[in-house]
Every structure is written in C-alpha cells, then in structure tokens.
Chain A
C-alpha cells in the first residue's frame, strides 16, 4: 500500500477542524487523550470481539441498508467484518465508534483516531452510510480512508508539533521510534508522518524481513511511504526493487539489521545517494531512507 497525497484545499480544511479540537482541549501535551477528544465531539465508544459480538448483533437488526436482503442473510454484517478484517466501525447516526477489542493497544489507538477522523469530516457522513442508493467506487473509498488517516495523524501528532520536534535534529529510525512513543503512537504511524514531512526526497518501508521473507506468509511490502518530492522525482523506482536492495546489505536477526548508502536515479537519470537504515522488531522490517546528495560520477551505481 502506498501513501496518497491530498489536495491543499482538503488538507487545509482538515487542519482547521483539528486545530479547533486541539484549541478546545487547551492545546494539550503529548500523548493526546482520545477519550477527551471523544468527549468534546460527544462520540461514544463500543467494542466487539469474536467472543462478545453483542454490540454487532444489537446493531444488526437496525440495518435497513439493502432492506430485506439482510433479513434473508442475518449474518451478513459478521461476514463483512470477518471478510474485510474490519477493525473499527463508525455509526454516524448513533455518533458511536465500535472497535475490535482484540486489537493491540497501540493499534486500537490508531483505529479509534481514524474513526474520529471520519466523524470530523462532514463530507464523509453521506458517503459512509451503507446506502442502498449507491456503491462507493474503490478510488473514492481510498480517498476517504486517506483523509481519515490524515486527520488521525494531525490529531495524534498534534499537527506540526511532532515534525517540528523530529526535524530539530537529524532524523533517524531511532529518533522516529522515540518520538512516536512520546506521542503514544505506533512506530509505523510515526514513520509515515516523518516521511511525509520531509521536503527532500525520502521514503520508508514496512515489510517482511529482507533476509527471511521466504519463511513468512503475507505481502512482502505492507507499506511504502514516499515524501512528496520522492513521489514526484523518482517515479520509476519500484518498492519491490528497493526491497531486493535491502537484501544485499541487511543481516538476519532482530534489532538493527543494516545500514548502507544506496544510489537511485531520478526521472531525468541523475543519480542521488540515500542513507538507508533497517530495523526488525520481530514482526516487521522498518526501513527509513533519507537524502544525502547528488552522486559524484566516480562512485558505482545501483
């Protein structure tokens, strides 16, 4: 999954709404308490799990989306939840967020912030109903999800505070990890925010271990995050090729697994050097690549 960038007008609108919420909370220190955000927005929170799906069943009989269709398949909502691994739902009519109780705590926090994001953006409400009148296109759904993610990030990273602090010194995987913890967020979301804040070319990857991927199931690359300039200037550089490159200098095992300088060609064929570092936390390999300089002609090329 790659990050997509929102238009300036949309991001300004979102940021205005987030700014108001944070002002109403007295511009709090990190980590942001989401229960306070929900209190300001008057949102309820509920939970479901495979062992306690009462809230889904309670909700099920209220669904009139597709009318009689659902009555003939009363387990449809549970099918949907399982089929799409939905971890969080938002009920605009009840102003309630429903989360999967089995999520790890940090992921619960992000899932909750994401659903709060949907609730803040009033243009999401008519589009998020399970409406019998229309089916959202995939690209529209992706856009709405990206907007909710952006909103969640602006909230939980307190708008520009995280990036201002991060960029006050050299950005490394360690600095991203530490500051993400301070803000109460996952390293993945911290990496995401960090890379999107770079005004130089940069990228990050969340993937399988580059030396052990044949032993693991699932997608090789879960997330490929590019700074705006990287997305614009290195359009032909594929995440698969970058992943293969990691295998040439990373070692097996956990923790820091490798660093190297990697040369990439931009859209015009000019070569640039990036400093790449990789860390494996037993679940994912986290890679951060930051821009160094234009390559001098005498050095060998990737």
Chain B
C-alpha cells in the first residue's frame, strides 16, 4: 500500500477542497480530538445551569409554555422539564437536535452545551460560565436577562474553533 504523502500535494488538495466535510463517525471524531491539546471542559454543574437557563429563557422569549415547546419539538414534556430544572445529565441526541431546530440554534453548539459533546475553544466555555452566573429563574424576562441571553446567543451562533 502506498499513498501520496507529499506535503505540497496535500496542501494543494486541501485548498481546492476547503469546506468539504467527511463524517467518520463519533469514534473517529474522538480519536482526532485526542491529538488536539486545547479543549476546555465546562464544569458539569455550570453547564447544566447554563443549558437549563438557555432553554427556559429561549422558550419564554418565544412565548411558549413547556407543553407547547415539547409539542413543537416533538419531545417528551418530562425530559424538557428535567432539562429546564437542570436535572438532565444525558439528554437524548434527538431531543437536542429537535430543540435546536425550534429554538433556532446550531445543533452542534447545543450538543456541547447540553453535555452530549465537549466543546472546542475557550470562547463558548467562558461565555457559558458567565451566562450561568448571570441568569436566574424569574417569571418574566428581565431587561438584564434579555441582555444576557442576547449576548450568550450571539456567542452560541457565531463562535468558531480557536476562539
């Protein structure tokens, strides 16, 4: 078996085919992740609080009850309640994907905040910690919560690798 390991050839091909993505499955993704050194974990309790608040505040911003969000996302009310109470340590991938579509967030980002994946880069991690510290459950979205939510959502949507 012989393959072309010429660096210039590889660089040329990489530039020609930039933004093409291949899936090699979760195990492969994890294997590649093992060689990278700058992953930063979000502390578990902080992550749960941030995720719970993000879902709750986003739902309230859309003026939906829990039941309405569950119906639109086709997920169990009980799992949604667990998520919003910060009690859900391992939500189902399908739940996160469906929630991301209704709440209009990139599914990969929501995966990282929900605990299904570890995020890369510092920006999302640091923003998650700040958001968890700032948000607090109240019935109406206060101006400060609105501001905190907008600021965090901007990072969720816009952050890239290496931030």
Contact = CB atoms under 8 A, between A and B. Distances in A.
Given A65-B29, A135-B39, A137-B117, A127 B22 contact: no
Interface stretch (B4-12, B49-57, B60-68, B134-142): B4-12
B133 to A, nearest CB: 22
Given A127-B93, A130-B21, A133-B112, A9 B7 contact: no
Given A65-B32, A130-B32, A131-B108, A90 B1 contact: no
A13 B73 CA distance: 12
B130 interface: no
B28 A135 contact: no
Interface string A39-70: 00000000000110100010111111111011
A91 interface: yes
Contact of B23 (A7, A57, A89): A89
A53 B1 contact: yes
A69 B22 contact: no
A124 interface: yes
A292 to B, nearest CB: 36
A122 B26 CA distance: 15
A57 B3 contact: yes
A137 B96 CA distance: 14
Q: Chain A interface residue count: which class? A: 35 or more
Contacts of B143: none
Contact of A123 (B3, B32, B97, B112): B97
Given A69-B36, A133-B119, A135-B120, A64 B19 contact: yes
Interface residues of B, number: 54
B22 A65 contact: yes
Contacts of A77: 24, 28
Contact of A75 (B3, B14, B33): B3
Contacts of A127: 26, 93, 97, 107-108, 111, 116-117
B42 to A, nearest CB: 11
A91 B1 contact: no
A135 B118 contact: yes
A247 interface: no
Contact of A86 (B1, B24, B32, B160): B24
Nearest to A84: B27
Contact of B117 (A60, A66, A123, A134): A134
Contacts of A144: 26, 93
A132 B161 contact: yes
A134 B3 contact: no
Contacts of B3: 53, 57, 60, 74-75
A83 B115 contact: no
Given A89-B25, A122-B97, A134 B31 contact: no
Contacts of A73: 35
Contacts of A92: 23
Contacts of A67: 14
A123 B100 CA distance: 10
A139 B79 CA distance: 17
B21 A129 contact: yes
Contact of B28 (A86, A93, A94, A143): A86
The 6 closest A-B pairs by CB, nearest first: A123-B97, A134-B117, A141-B26, A61-B13, A135-B33, A140-B116
25 contacts: A10-B92, A50-B1, A57-B3, A57-B4, A59-B22, A61-B10, A61-B14, A64-B14, A65-B21, A69-B36, A80-B32, A86-B28, A93-B23, A123-B93, A123-B94, A127-B97, A128-B26, A128-B29, A129-B22, A135-B30, A136-B29, A136-B116, A144-B26, A144-B93, A147-B93
